[in-house]
Structures are given as structure tokens and as C-alpha cells.
């Protein structure tokens, strides 16, 4: 757990110090990728609190959710239809559901 927090803090420091710009055309892909990653992370935290965490399930869910969200954004971009809204809706809903379950677990503990 300490290693994960250290890695997160190191990544934040590097991200704030390096002047990296994201082109406007890629912002949709980045937002869907970050949202799907956050959904997987909160799901992993919830599973850890419930003692049901499986590393392989977490990794495959993280990768497939990210790829599916990016694929929807890509296809929608090619067709001129904002399909990425569906990924944002699903991942956003799951993110809030996982956060609510984590909160309930901590409060009821």
C-alpha cells in the first residue's frame, strides 16, 4: 500500500513539473481512458475492502475497460457521433457506485 501511494505521489509530482501538452483532438481519448482507469481503481479498492480482490480480474478489467472505452471514442469520432458519451456515462455511474459502497463499508465498520 505504501508503494502504491509513493508511486501515485511521484507520478503527480512528475506530471506537474513536466510541461506536457495534450492536443485537443486527443482530449476525448484521454478523458475516457482516465475515467475507465479510475473506475477500475475504485472497483479494486472496494474489492480489497470486501476481501474479494483478485489481481488477474483487476488487471484484465482495467485493460479491457480502457480499450473498450477508447474503441467507442474512436469509432464515434470516425462516424461523427459522440459515442464516447456512453463510456463516460457507464464508467461515471460505476465510479460513483463503487465510491458509495466504499463509503458505506468504512462507515459501517
Residues 72-103 have pLDDT tens digits of 999 999 999 988 899 899 999 999 999 999 99
Name the percent of the chain lying above pLDDT 70: 99
Confidence band (pLDDT; 50, 70, 90) for 1? low
Output DSSP code: residue 80. T
Longest dimension (CA), the chain: 49
The dihedral over CA atoms of 33, 36, 37, 38, expressed in degrees to the nearest 10, equals 120
> Rounded CA gap, 71 and 58, in Å?
20
Q: For residue 99, what is its C-alpha cell?
A: 465510491
Amino acid at each position: 500500500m505504501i508503494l502504491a501511494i509513493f508511486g501515485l505521489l511521484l507520478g503527480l509530482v512528475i506530471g506537474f513539473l513536466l510541461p506536457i501538452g495534450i492536443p485537443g483532438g486527443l482530449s476525448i481519448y484521454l478523458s475516457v481512458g482516465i475515467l475507465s482507469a479510475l473506475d477500475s481503481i475504485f472497483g479494486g479498492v472496494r474489492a480489497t475492502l470486501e476481501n474479494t480482490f483478485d489481481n488477474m480480474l483487476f488487471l484484465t478489467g482495467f485493460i479491457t475497460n480502457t480499450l473498450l472505452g477508447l474503441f467507442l471514442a474512436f469509432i464515434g469520432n470516425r462516424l461523427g457521433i459522440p459515442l464516447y458519451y456512453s463510456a463516460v456515462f457507464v464508467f461515471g455511474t460505476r465510479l460513483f457506485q463503487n465510491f458509495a459502497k466504499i463509503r458505506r463499508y468504512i462507515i459501517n465498520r
